[in-house]
Amino acid sequence: MTNASSLTITSSITDSTLLDLPWNLPLDIWPEGAIATLPKGLSRHLVRFAHLGGYVVAIKETSADLARREYELLRTLRRMDVPCVEPLAVITNRTDDAGEELDSVLVTRHLKFSLPYRALYSQALRPETATRLVDALAVLLVRLHIAGFFWGDVSLSNTLFRRDAGAFAAYLVDAETGNVYDTLSEGQREHDLEIARINIAGELLDLAAGDRLDGGTDPLGVSKGIIAAYRTLWSELTSSESFDATERWRIAERVERLNNLGFDVEELAIKTDDDGSRVRLQPKVVDAGHHQRRLLRLTGLDAEENQARRLLNDLDAYVANQDDAESNEEIVAHEWLITVFEPVIRSIQRELMGKLDPAEVFHQMLEHSWFLAQNEKRDVSLAEAVGSYIDTVLQHRRDEATVIDPPTGAFTMPIALIGADDWRDRV
Amino acid sequence: MATVTFDKASRIYPGQARPAVDKLDLHVADGEFLVLVGPTGCGKSTSLRMLAGQEVVDEGRILINGHDAAGIPPSDRDIAMVFQNYALYPHMTVAENMGFALKIAGIDKEERASRVVEAAKLLDLEEYLGRKPKTLSGDQRQRVAMGRAIVRNPQVFLMDEPLANLDAKLRVQTRTQIASLTRRLGVTTVYVTHDQAEALTMGDRIAVLKEGVLQQVGTPQALYASPENVFVAGFMGSPAMNLFDTLLVDGGLEFGTATVRVGRKTLHRTSAKKVTIGVRPEDVVVSASGQGLPVTIDKVESLGADRYLYGHAVVDGGRVEIVARVDEHAHPKEGDNIVVTPKPDHLHVFDIDTELRLNTHAVEGAA
């Protein structure tokens, strides 16, 4: 079906099923069979989703130069450990059966269990959710800026969110307007923040205009929140502090504060003045994922930062309850994994597995168990809590493994408007 | 309304041997549309960011309306950095789409309404103010997006490759729109592009940069007709100017078998035995006398009334690519051998060492 001989594919995967997609057709007329779900995504360019092998991919039609540029940018960001979608391939030299040239495409892997912000409400977006989204976006922006990435189009629409133990973890989706520099100037960072504030306000005002924003939400207030959240985190991660040489404990305190924020300190600059009475301290290299890395090391589980923190708390409580206090942390962690975590996950029926990812299930089950115990004023066993959680919570949730970007509210010049109707009518 | 002056402004990144922007001297008049153009890494975007307050000015100054901008935060510069992609929101009306940024800026309702109406008049969007973007044509939507920048009434518009994401057809359409709109508004605009065709069609004046150094600034006509050095000669214009080195001889310079006369003043400006010469493709003519530069035609490209001949010649033992634009009456074919000369007074002569222009005007009457 595909005129594969003329295609040029640059790909980071070796999946030959890539060749089976109908590259000889313009994306907007791809047959139903090839398309994952009906809604077209929305950005400057046409984006659609397709099944490829065992997963879902997002396909964006654009020019060859832009596709290659974004592919490389996303690869660079991933190398720097910045949360963003995974670029899979660039396909150029597409032609239809009549030999007419077709746009090049960028193929990215759909991020499992990720949600576009417009999928995070049933009737209207609640103020707490809006604030959590903005907080997650602020963390992402700080991480991008530390990596030297100027985004140029920071917005909720250009971000995907994964649930993260009551909070959200944000992933960059659209790098088209971005650029990597050695370091960003303060002015560049401020410009990105201003773009973020205006875009978020626009997105929330649009929800309000469409009656999709909870009455208690203040679009301007929430959008302004990104500035405060960003500045607080940026200052914690980068500012220098000076203290008396006798207060050396402040070094450990700073490191702990950063750890609690989810960052490891790879490099600290510590300077003393000439007579050695004052110490100046500044983090130089910080690395997000403090709890994620510890969880991964101890259990092999890959979770978001807050989920990891939550799981580690449970693990630490488990360790503390062991009689043999001397035993090795790794061994006890393994025990926790096979006697606590895995039985919970295994008790979930296969058909419910697509509702939430396992770490989030475990977190929610812990919450549920706590509420049960509070309500009934007694200890609740793990098995009882799991059963109750599945019956009363999990099975009533929708599947979130592959919530495809709905036709979002925003569209950008000068590409034709894609239907503004609600995505729920279509999926 | 504002003027912008770069006064020997430099940006030097730590650890870099060469300044990203090197002593830039440039004055942008009130209401002028100035294009900064050059290849990747020439310092054009850095210059723009310095003006916007996003980059430090390490040496020199930047003046906005005669006032040193140092220390003025970006948000207080009254400059609108028009970014590549303004989203339009489907549930908001055209008026809301244009005015919501003013709401964020804390501007009161009446003022917002009057600015939106004013911008809508300029953009011919008055009758659509109450509509949703979905009901507008692509072109109208684009104007709404521009309205978002206009309602802010900035003193200066800054645009950094605003058309980079568009396909070729839309790019041409949009650049005409931006140029005519900013002229109607009379707002000082600094526009950055790597595309010389965009620069030539849009700018009141163009500043060409290379490796952080300003090469030439002038009207599109002046840059095209009298490039001040070999770089500008080769960069502006498409297909590019034919450029090669040749020997100076008695009374002029060698152009194949012909001697092309060059003014004595020009020749006295160099002590070298050779010069670099440039001839634009439209200034190359097929020699009637048979004297001139022998060229073998490799390819003929027909573009309506004109055709381009792509060929090569041998000059001083080396191969030189030659492009000539000829009219429909000339019928050379691929593989033909022809002899070409430059149109009289349409030859650009440059110093072989400094690469600077030697003759004052290539074309009679040019600035």
Q: Which residues of A touch B49 (CB under 8 A)?
A: 185, 187-188
What is the average pLDDT across B42-55? 94
- Residue among B309, B351, B315, B345 nearest B328 (CA): B309
The CA distances from residue A249 to A246, A252, A253, A266, in Å, are 8, 5, 6, 18
Selecting from B56, B90, B93 the residue whose C-beta is nearest the C-beta of A185 gives B56
Model pLDDT, residue A405: 52
Mean residue pLDDT across chain B: 90
Band of residue B303 on the pLDDT scale cut at 50, 70, 90: confident
Residues of chain A with pLDDT under 70: 1-5, 14, 32-45, 324-326, 404-427
First to last CA, chain A: 28
Q: Which two tokens stand for residue B168?
A: 């070729």
- Provide the pairing of β-strand B242-249 with A263-272: unpaired
Of A44, A182, A420, the CB nearest to B85: A44
Query: How many Å lie between the alpha carbon of B223 and the closest alpha carbon of chain A?
Result: 29
**B residues 152-171 closer than 8 Å to A (CB):** 165-167, 170
CB contact under 8 A, B145 and A414: yes
Q: Tell me, what's the pLDDT at A220?
A: 94
Q: How many angstroms separate the CA of residue B96 from the nearest CA in chain A?
A: 9
Mean pLDDT of B150-164: 87
Q: Which amino acid is at B209?
A: L
Give the chain A residue nearest B73 (alpha carbons).
Answer: A187
Counting Cα atoms < 13 Å in the Cβ hemisphere of B79 gives 28
Query: Average pLDDT for residues B196-217, to the nearest whole number?
Result: 96
Whether residue B34 is predicted with pLDDT greater than 80 in this model: the reply is: yes
pTM of the predicted structure, to 2 decimals: 0.83
Residues of A with CB under 8 A from a CB of B: 44, 63, 66, 152-153, 155, 157, 176-177, 182, 185, 187-188, 190-191, 194-195, 197-199, 201-203, 205-207, 209-210, 212, 220, 223, 409-417, 420
Q: How far is CA A147 from CA A67, A213, A306, B12, in A?
A: 22, 34, 22, 21
Nearest CA in chain B to A66: B165
- Residue A122's CB is within 10 A of a number of other CB atoms, namely 9
Q: For residues A309 and A169, is the Cβ–Cβ distance under 8 A?
A: no
Query: Which of A222, A413, A421 should be substituted to probe chain B, the one whose Cβ sees the most B Cβ atoms within 10 Å?
Result: A413
**What is the three-state SS of B99-141?**
HHHHHHCCCCHHHHHHHHHHHHHHCCCHHHCCCCHHHCCHHHH
* Cα A160–chain centre separation: 6
Locus of tokens 């997963």: A55
Look at residue A383 in the predicted model and tell me its pLDDT.
87
Instruction: Determine the Cα–Cα distance for residues A158 and A178; give it in Å rounded to an integer.
Output: 12
A246 contacts A155 by C-beta, under 8 angstroms = no
Asked whether the beta carbons of residue A411 and residue B138 sit closer than 8 angstroms, the reply is no
pLDDT given for residue A404 in this prediction: 62
E strand spans, A223-324: 241-244, 263-272, 278-288
In this predicted model, which residue has the larger pLDDT, A280 or B171? A280
- The helix/strand/coil state of A201 is helix
CB contact (8 A) between residue B141 and residue A414: yes
Q: What is the mean pLDDT of residues B106-122?
A: 93
Query: Cα(A174)–Cα(A156) distance, rounded to whole angstroms?
Result: 11
Question: What average pLDDT does this structure show over B161-172?
Answer: 76
* Confidence check: pLDDT of B158 > 90: yes
The HSE-up count of residue A403 (CA atoms within 13 Å, CB side) is 24
**B139 in A contact zone (CB under 8 Å):** yes
Yes or no, beta carbons of B87 and A63 under 8 Å apart: no
**Spatial distance between the Cα atoms of B113 and B23, rounded to a whole number of angstroms:** 43
Pseudo-torsion of CA A413, A418, A424, A427, nearest 10°? -130
Using a 10 angstrom Cβ sphere, with 0-12 exposed, 13-18 middle and 19 or more buried, the burial of residue A314 is middle
Angle formed at CA B34 by CA B60 and CA A194, multiple of 5 degrees: 75
For residue B156 the two structure tokens come to: 């200066």
| Residue closest to B334 by CA, chosen among B311, B314, B305, B313 | B311
Largest separation between any pair of C-alpha atoms in chain A: 80
Averaged pLDDT for residues B273-291: 93
Residues 6 or more apart whose Cβ sits within 8 Å of residue A246: none
pLDDT given for residue B235 in this prediction: 97
Q: Is B354 on the interface with A (CB under 8 A)?
A: no
List the Cα angle B33/B38/B40 in 5-degree steps.
Answer: 130
What single-letter DSSP state applies at residue B358? -
Q: Which residues face A169 on adjacent strands?
A: A162
Neighbouring CB atoms inside 10 A of B16's CB total 11
Point out the residue among A185, A223, A411 whose CB comes nearest to the CB of B87: A411
CB distance A292 to A304 below 8 Å: yes
Coil, strand, or helix at residue A32?
helix
Q: A198 vs B103: CB contact, 8 Å cut-off?
A: no
* pLDDT for res B83: 60
Give the 3-state secondary structure of residue B185: helix
Query: A155 vs B87: CB contact, 8 Å cut-off?
Result: yes
User: Which residue in B has a C-alpha nearest to residue A42's C-alpha?
Assistant: B87
The minimal CB distance from A420 to the residues B81, B90, B165 is found for B90
Q: In chain B, what is the straight-line distance between the N-terminal and C-terminal CA atoms, in Å? A: 28
Residue A410: CB partners within 8 Å, gap ≥ 6?
Answer: A42, A155, A157, A202, A203, A206, B87, B88, B89, B90
Read off the tokens for A133. 């989204």
pLDDT value at position A366? 93
The predicted structure's pLDDT at residue A41: 31
Separation of alpha carbons B279 and B173, rounded Å: 30
